[in-house]
Amino acid sequence: MAGVARSLVRWVRPGQGRPPARKLVLGIETSCDDTGAAVVDDAGGVLGEALHCQGDVHSRAGGIIPLVAQQLHRENVERVVNEALRASGVSVRELAAIATTVKPGLALSLEVGLQYSSSLASAHRTPFIPIHHMEAHALTIRLTQRVEFPFLVLLLSGGHCILAVARGVSDFLLLGQSIDIAPGDMLDKVARRLSLRKHPECHGMAGGKAIEHLAQTGNWRQHTFRLPMQQYRNCDFSFSGLQNLINKAIVQKEKEEGIQEGEILSCVKDIAAAVQHTVALHIIQRTYRAMLFCIKNSILPSKNATLVVSGGVASNQYIRKGLQTLADVNDFAFLCPPPRLCTDNGVMIAWNGVERLRAGLGVLHSPDGIRYEPKAPLGIDISKRVEEDSIKVPKLKKKIRWLAS
């Protein structure tokens, strides 16, 4: 089974010539369906990286199967870690610490990474750094850009949708999050309902990527979906109700065209465009309120504030363009990590380990007693304060010309 999934090894920077004084951190990531490992130094140099992707396996099954994900992690974690170490020219005894995702994520997947890294750290008496997966996504930008705290961060992925203020390493204010499913999950489910795997232009594409591809030549104005949560002046998100509306529209179109579920609608590109547009608008509107709230309450500076967007869905160019325009209108700098660092990977875990090592936060002499946590909040939840402020967001059409594109 492991042979079906894709493997990738990157030699980003050779280990030779590395300054001996630099501290090195090995990062291990197994929170969902990717097994990743990387060695990063305390100057931000990625010395070596390896990644094993399970996407093809789960795509054929119609979604991630936890037991299958666990088995694939077990089969590949040691090899992936050894490949990252070999690529970096580093041995375990040279490491300053081993950083590993322990929360949040799929329980069975987290268990594999924690067990393996705990054994490795204990065997070599190497310090251990437990990592919050979403904190790692939020701080990845500091590996590639000079970004000072505080900054507003939007985390978009298959499992999460979070708005927070990063005030420091391990210091976050949670402004809002999805109250049901995440945008990536919803896009994948819509893609399955539209049978996009059968579409000749979408062979081998993940669901969200297929939606984005077809939307490029579709007309979102042909279908109108009600924006979620318009009655709530907060920064939370909801995508399950929108998914239900889309499913009803698909059923109606199938009846009109006289086709069965599983066949491709003639208007599939227009539906894809409308779905993507509505998701983008929902995300933009909630992010807009977060900007206004942070400025009003002096949580972010009134000048030179920064919006960071990360996570797998941040790779969607349409959503990214809308957020870029929103940032421009409100005089925010807009930053995203490179696409390959937006999805789950070992580099971001290692870098979070470096950040924590520098700050002296959560560095343990032994992994004994550490437990994985499938559900774990990010920072201090101040979402009630956001709702109490009841900030009205100006009409987007008046502010964002991107809507007319």
- 157, part of any domain: yes
Please check whether residues 387 and 250 belong to one and the same domain.
yes
- pLDDT tens for 250-304 read 999 999 999 999 999 999 999 999 999 999 999 999 999 999 999 999 999 989 9
In a shared domain, residues 171 and 286: yes
Structural domain count of the chain: 2
In a domain, 125, yes or no: yes
DSSP 292-316: HHHHHTTSS-SSSEEEEEESGGGG-
137, 292 Cβ separation under 8 angstroms: no
The answer to whether 32 touches 311, Cβ cutoff 8 Å, is no
pLDDT at 9: 47
Is 146 among the domain residues?
no
Same domain (yes/no): 84, 136: yes
Residue 327 sits in the same domain as residue 356: no
Residues 359 and 257 in one domain: no
pLDDT at 52 over 50: yes
CATH number at residue 324: 3.30.420.40
What's residue 63's pLDDT? 74
Residues 130 and 16 in one domain: yes
Q: Is the pLDDT of residue 35 over 80?
A: yes
In the structure encoding, which two tokens stand for residue 349, read together?
């875990």
**Banded pLDDT at 402 (limits 50, 70, 90):** low
Residue of higher predicted confidence among 19 and 296:
296
Looking at the structure, do residues 331 and 345 belong to the same domain, yes or no? Answer: no
For the chain, give the mean pLDDT. Answer: 92
168 and 310 in a single domain? The answer is yes
Span 347-376, average pLDDT: 96
Query: Is residue 145 assigned to a domain?
Result: no
* Total-model pTM: 0.91
Phi, psi of 147 (to 5 degrees): -120, 125
354-367 pLDDT per residue, tens: 999 999 999 999 99
Rounded to an integer, the average pLDDT of 220-228 is 95
Whether residues 297 and 349 share a domain: the answer is no
Q: How far is 390 from 383, CA to CA, in rounded Å?
A: 11
Q: How far apart are CA 400 and CA 403, in angstroms?
A: 6
Confidence of residue 400 (pLDDT cuts 50, 70, 90): low
Least confident of 3-7, 264-268, 358-362, 371-375: 3-7
User: pLDDT category, 395, cuts 50, 70, 90?
Assistant: confident
Is the same domain home to 300 and 157?
yes
Q: Is the pLDDT of residue 243 over 90?
A: yes
User: Which one-letter amino acid corresponds to residue 4?
Assistant: V
Q: Between 261 and 19, where is the model more confident?
A: 261
The confidence band for 57, taking pLDDT boundaries of 50, 70 and 90, is: confident
The CA-CA-CA angle for residues 183, 175, 244, to 5°, reads 30
Residue-level pLDDT at 334: 98
- How sure is the predictor about 403, in pLDDT bands with cuts at 50, 70 and 90? low
Inter-residue contact 349 to 131 (CB < 8 Å): yes
- Across the strands, what pairs with 41? 24
Q: Is 60 exceeded by the pLDDT of residue 92? A: yes
pLDDT in tens, 185-210: 999 999 999 999 999 999 888 899 99
Q: pLDDT category, 388, cuts 50, 70, 90?
A: very high
Name the DSSP class of 237. B
Percentage of residues of the chain with pLDDT beyond 70: 92
Evaluate the omega torsion of the peptide bond into residue 150 and state whether it is cis, within 30 degrees of 0: yes
**Domain encompassing residue 87:** 2-140+341-374
> Cα(33)–Cα(59) distance, rounded to whole angstroms?
11
Q: Are residues 7 and 30 in the same domain?
A: yes
Span 144-157, pLDDT tens digits: 999 999 999 999 98
DSSP assignment of 192-211: HHTTGGGSTT-TT--HHHHH
Is residue 327 domain-resident?
yes
The reply to whether 62 falls in a domain is: yes
Q: Per-residue pLDDT averaged across 228-250, rounded?
A: 97
> 31 and 106 in contact (C-beta within 8 Å)?
yes
Residue 163 has pLDDT above 70, yes or no: yes
